[in-house]
Amino acid sequence: MSDLKYKLVVGLEIHVHLCTKTKMFCGCGLEYGVTANSRICPVCLGMPGSLPVMNRQAYEFAVMMGLALNCRISRFTKWDRKNYYYPDLPKNYQISQYDLPLAEKGYIEIPLEEGRTKKIRIIRVHLEEDAGKNIHAGAYSHVDLNRAGTGLLEIVTEPDMNSPVEVRALAMELQRIVRYLGVSEADMQKGHMRFEPNVNLTINLGDKEVKTPIVEVKNLNSFRALERSVEYEIGRQLDEFAETGKVMEMGNKSTRGWDDVNQVTVLQREKEEAHDYRYLPEPDLVPVELDDQWLGDIKSGLCELPLQKQMRFVSEYGLSDYDAGVLTADRATADFFDEAVKAGGEPKRICNLLTQVGLKMANEKGCSLADLGFSAANVAELAKMAEGGDVSASAAGTILEKMTEMKENPQAIAEKLNLIQKSDAGELEAVVDEIIAANAEASQQVREGGKKSGKARGFLMGQVMQKTKGQANPKVVSEILGKKLS
Amino acid sequence: MEHLSAAELRDRIKAREISSFEAAKTVFARIEKYEPKIGAYISIFEETALAKAKEVDKKIASGKSVGKLAGVPVAIKDNMCTIFGTTTCASKILENFHAPYNATVVQKLLDADAVIIGKTNLDEFAMGSSTENSGLKKTVNPWDTGRVPGGSSGGSAAAVAARLCFGALGSDTGGSIRQPAGFCSVVGLKPTYGRVSRYGLVAFGSSLDQIGPLTKTVADAALFMNVISGKDLADSTSVDESIAPVADYLENLNQPVENLKIGIVPHLNAGADEQVLGAINDSINFYKSTGAEIIELEMPHLDYAIAAYYVIATAEASSNLARYDGVHYGYRTARPKDYIEVYSKSRQEAFGAEVKRRIMLGTYTLSAGYYDAYYLKALKVRNLIRGNFTKAFEKCDCVIMPVSPTTAFKIGEKMADPLQMYLADIYTIAVNLAGIPGISIPCGFDSDNMPIGLQILCPAFEEAKLLRIARMFESETNWHKVYPNIINHE
Ligand SMILES: [Zn+2]
């Protein structure tokens, strides 16, 4: 690799599968992993004479996304046919949106390290139908059309990303948003999200800047592949530039694929063929007019977006950016946490309980916090008990774990398990006196405050705890010891 | 019996004077005798039709309520999907295609207790004006078997004229119901775009296609409209009845339209046959005699209708017909080298010349760099034509003109010159571009005893008025009662 000064420039095209009940233009259900060609009808098969009918929910989901991405929402949008021949495309045209996308000119804020964020501009958001799948098997190819006609959201960003980390951050933030809004399950394994970065470099040659030819990497379906492919392209494009000096020109954009095994991009098409899709307005569908009432209804389905929530948890609750990030990774966790805090628990303590114990259990069981068998109010109560010294921090964790099985409130569990701490100063004072009397040497060392006082103090604490079977509130014991041996 | 109108037959069946079974038997007997000469049908469903007829008779006998077309033998153009039989579009590419569902209109006919006896011939994918472009068979004009029946609903028009059914459905993209109705001396109605569901109609030009009836009388056209009209949730372009209510088209049908103002467009008549114009003039004079006012209209943009039409219709067709690729259903070439050949050879071998011509034309006009010059410009012309009609209808209730500049031409006469064939659609095409309803009714014969059609046009969704105006003429004339002699005297 050469040591040229360069700047990475990446724009991203993202396809998101919407989790509507039915397909985009027919009544077929959306299910993954079912028998090939079992979720099909005359419409999504493109049978002669069949006609599409727009899925209103898909449209509303798309508008929600447009709003979440701060876009200008078109009050009038129409459908177009994109014509091309491929066996997995039954009509040999795809119903899409060409010149009047339903949302455009927005931005997304992405979280970077240390609570920093960056705005990436969104060019457009539009809806289209997905194609089916070609399955190659020996001499023949089969076509599975279960996916054909599924609602697909296409989001196109400006080339505003300048590092592989930013590209990954955008992809992940988008996943978080679609999940918060409930418009997609965004399950990468099921191919619910696909990424296509457009990558090139601006190279500084001292007296001038040049741009390397743009490469589009097709069909990436994991964050890792996305980040790696962009990283790989930096090196590859630098090498290529050093070798050939080729710069960006009209028509020299190329297409590459990602080879996951060898972790390299592979050339697919040298020159972007001027693909002529012969777009025409879809005559079988009427344009969509979005009036104030409808837009209002859609807006009411929006929620606080993840990054806002994350930042609020930091500013309002004093959490670290890291903790806030963990808690806002999904909406159910964030909402659960928020509810517990609102029920009166101390935020940091609740955060610790949830991130250190609750989420671990949820992950093990493959469910969300709310499904663990305790309520946010229970967690708030537990946090208050720990705060008031009724239970120790570690006992609180144990109690939370037990709450899933015992289905009782934290107080009852703490009592049953003998986890309530002794905080009664009078009672503890007697124990402390007893220990001091029995351990004169250690007591003296503490009093003298010399080198050995720390260890001696720890020893005395241990003796008190042993005597009380661990139920003494260490804070109170420490205070009494301090008073007695000063 | 074969000369009864659908409404008359239905009434007699309901009154149990004639059984539906008998009516169907009569039709099949006539088909056996005359169909070899006429060639109206691509498929005939004798067994299922007779069963359905019996079922309707049983219903009536048991006093159950029956539909509006109870027991009436009807035919449908073979570009409407039926779960029974094949839906071929008169194309080799769909020759053995069995649709998995019924078109909405087909279901509506069945629900109205009509007896579907067969599916009629057409120009392949409804592309043509003579039915000569059928990839499957030849249909002739019952008035002169050396002439074309018109098209593309030539099979439906010929079947009604030859009394091989009591009414039929056709589809009209640029005149395909009205022109064959005129050529065969039957009534043909193209409803407003959006009045009748297109679901299950195999698309040619989606923004222009509309299903309508071909019948013996205006009242039968109204009766069919009562059965097939209305919003269909499966067709987004069908119009909501809250915006344009569906009328009972039979109610008030016989009531003349008062203070009728008729628009005529003299400058369109330059190339028309003298005898055709004579019959149209006589018809206009008839309306004048009833007190109608005649208003001469300027509709300058109609001159560009054919050009705009052949851009828009072919552009849509090129996309609509892309699905016939040999991959999923229909004809597939025998030994493709690769999947590209599945496409290219299947299409090359199974599409007819006219279909290929239009696909190529449409593909060309949609191509990058040409879109603005052709398709976009054609859309602008379309808007201007709509504007011409809107302005015209501010001055008059309807516009009257011929259906076709000539009567039915000889078979083969225009096949060598597609442009001549296109230009013959001068009177019908603008109507589809404007989306308004139009009707063709019999209004005379030329010296060769070939029928002449009178075309009446009304504003969108005013089919009720359109039918009443047509009925005013029909009730005072006998042209619709004349049937082709060749059938009875040969
Ligand atoms: Zn479907």
pLDDT at A413: 82
Give the start-to-end residue ranges of the domains of chain A.
Answer: 5-296, 306-416, 425-485
Q: Chain A: residue nearest B239 by CA?
A: A286
What is the DSSP-derived secondary structure letter of residue A13?
E
Distance from CA of B51 to the nearest CA of A (A): 27
Mean pLDDT of A106-121: 94
pLDDT band at A274 (very low <50, low <70, confident <90, very high): low
Higher pLDDT, A242 or A418: A242
pLDDT at B281: 97
The CA distance from B336 to B329, in Å, is 15
Mean pLDDT of A196-213: 94
Q: Chain A: residue nearest B379 by CA?
A: A281
Q: How many CB atoms lie within 10 A of CB B32?
A: 11
Distance from CA of B364 to the nearest CA of A (A): 9
Is-contact A13 A155, C-beta < 8 A? yes
pLDDT band at A457 (very low <50, low <70, confident <90, very high): confident
Radius of gyration in angstroms for the set of CA atoms belonging to chain A, rounded to a whole number: 30
Lowest mean pLDDT among A98-102, A330-334, A412-416, B308-312: A412-416
Tell me: pLDDT of A255 over 90.
yes
Distance from CA of A50 to the nearest CA of B (A): 6
Is-contact A85 A320, C-beta < 8 A? no
Report CB contact under 8 Å: A48, B103: no
Tell me: pLDDT of A272 over 70.
no
Q: How does pLDDT run across A419-436, given as a tens digit for each residue? A: 777 666 777 788 888 888
b (16+ CB within 10 A) / e for B133-169: bbbbeebbbbbbeebbbbbbbbbbbbbbbbbbbbbbb
CA of B267 relative to ligand 1 center, distance in Å: 50
Residue from the list A42, A285, A286 with its beta carbon closest to the beta carbon of B100: A42
Distance from CA of A151 to the nearest CA of B (A): 18
The CA distance from A374 to A5, in Å, is 56
Q: Chain B: residue nearest A48 by CA?
A: B202
B306 assigned to some structural domain: no
Report CB contact under 8 Å: A87, B339: yes
| Catalytic residue of the set B91, B134, B152, B171 | B152
Q: How does pLDDT run across A289-311, given as a tens digit for each residue? A: 999 999 999 999 899 999 999 99
Give pLDDT tens digits along chain B (490 positions): 899 999 999 999 999 999 999 999 999 999 999 999 999 999 999 999 999 999 999 999 999 999 999 999 999 999 999 999 999 999 999 999 999 999 999 999 999 999 999 999 999 999 999 999 999 999 999 999 999 999 999 999 999 999 999 999 999 999 999 999 999 999 999 999 999 999 999 999 999 999 999 999 999 999 999 999 999 999 999 999 999 999 999 999 999 999 999 999 999 998 899 999 999 999 999 999 999 999 999 999 999 999 999 999 999 999 999 999 999 899 999 999 988 999 999 999 999 999 999 999 999 999 988 999 999 999 999 999 999 999 999 999 999 999 999 999 999 998 888 888 888 899 999 999 999 999 999 999 999 999 999 999 999 999 999 999 999 999 999 999 999 976 544 4
pLDDT at A397: 83
B345 assigned to some structural domain: no
| Pick from B145, B151, B112: nearest CA to B128 | B151
pLDDT at B163: 96
Is-contact A199 A8, C-beta < 8 A? yes
Q: Chain B: residue nearest A275 by CA?
A: B368
Residues of B in contact with A48 (CB under 8 A): 81, 87, 89, 94, 97, 99, 202-203, 323
Radius of gyration in angstroms for the set of CA atoms belonging to chain B, rounded to a whole number: 21
Q: How many domains are there within chain B?
A: 1
Query: CB of A124 within 8 Å of any CB in chain B?
Result: no
Where are the extended beta strands (E) located within B388-434? 398-402
Tell me: pLDDT of A1 over 70.
no
| HSE-CB for A321 with a 13 A CA cutoff | 8
CATH of A425-485, one of 3.40.50.2300, 3.40.50.12500, 3.40.50.80, 1.10.10.410: 1.10.10.410
Residue from the list B203, B322, B328 with its beta carbon closest to the beta carbon of A49: B203
Residue from the list B201, B236, B316 with its beta carbon closest to the beta carbon of A53: B236
Tell me the average pLDDT of chain A.
90
Question: Predicted ipTM?
Answer: 0.95
Q: How far is CA B176 from CA A15, A370, B122, B217, B424, in A?
A: 43, 64, 9, 18, 12
B327 assigned to some structural domain: no
The CA distance from A315 to A317, in Å, is 6
Mean pLDDT of A332-341: 93
pLDDT at B490: 43
B273 assigned to some structural domain: no
**Residues contacting B2, CB < 8 A, separation 6+:** B26, B27, B30, B163
List the end-to-end C-alpha distance of chain B, in Å, as a whole number: 19
Report CB contact under 8 Å: A54, B236: yes
Report CB contact under 8 Å: B236, A42: no
Which of A45, A284, A286, A288 is most worth mutating to test chain B (most B CB atoms within 10 A of its CB)? A284
pLDDT at B487: 52
Q: How many CB atoms lie within 10 A of CB A427?
A: 12
The CA distance from B307 to B316, in Å, is 15
Per the structure, the complete domain to which residue B240 belongs is given by 6-258+437-488
Residue from the list B100, B205, B367 with its beta carbon closest to the beta carbon of A276: B367
Higher pLDDT, B194 or A389: B194
Q: Is there a catalytic annotation at residue B152?
A: yes
Q: Is there a catalytic annotation at residue B77?
A: yes
B89 assigned to some structural domain: yes
The DSSP result for B215-269, as a single string, is: ESSHHHHHHHHHHHBS--TT-TTSPPTTTSPPP-TTTTTTSPPTT-EEEE-GGGG
Instruction: Find the DSSP H helices in B426-484.
Output: 429-434, 463-476
CATH number for the domain spanning B194: value is 3.90.1300.10
